[in-house]
Amino acid sequence: MGETKKTTIKKMTNGYKASLYKSPTYNSWACMKCRCDCKNTPYYKDYGGRGITYSEKWATFKGFLDDMGERPEGCTLDRIDVNGNYCKENCRWATKSQQQHNMRTQKRPLVGVRFDSTHKTSPWACRIHGKGRQYASRRKTLAEAIKWRRKMEEKLWEQQ
């Protein structure tokens, strides 16, 4: 298998130019715009359909690139506040695990916690994935299970 060649964005006198279809940074920008603007795409309902938009400056690739810089390897565009818009103050380049922790679904208290009636003494099962493995525990009450899960989230994601 051949290695993929990383393209770099070169500053020209008339702005920024890139091998646009090969640049990871351009791809992130184009996908962001599509999620917000293109009603016929599968992700529109979670972005533009919820009122998520992007700053006026980011309507152009140059404006986006000026604010965010080139996309680091292994990262993609992430909104810090998942209900906020795409803008310099609310976006960062984040790893996959950082983004998974920042998803709207992770804000629900029962993510990774379920009731299992077959275990009478500790019916609440807790699970979390991190650092390439799964962690699990059982607790007597829902409150204890949620507390364990949140503590593990902090422990796993603070080290990344």
Query: How much is the pLDDT for 134?
Result: 83
Torsion over CA of 88, 91, 92 and 97, rounded to 10 degrees? 180
Place of tokens 């525990």: 137
Task: Check if the beta carbon of residue 148 is closer than 8 Å to that of residue 122.
Answer: no
Task: Check if the beta carbon of residue 95 is closer than 8 Å to that of residue 75.
Answer: yes
DSSP 44-65: GGGTGGGT--B-GGGGSHHHHH
Q: Which amino acid is at 47?
A: Y
The two tokens of residue 137 are 């525990």
Sign for the CA dihedral angle at 38, 75, 103, 91 comes to negative
Query: How much is the pLDDT for 3?
Result: 46
pLDDT by 10-residue block (mean), the chain, 160 residues: 46 47 86 94 90 96 93 91 90 83 57 82 85 85 87 71
Q: What is the reported pTM?
A: 0.57
Query: How much is the pLDDT for 5?
Result: 43
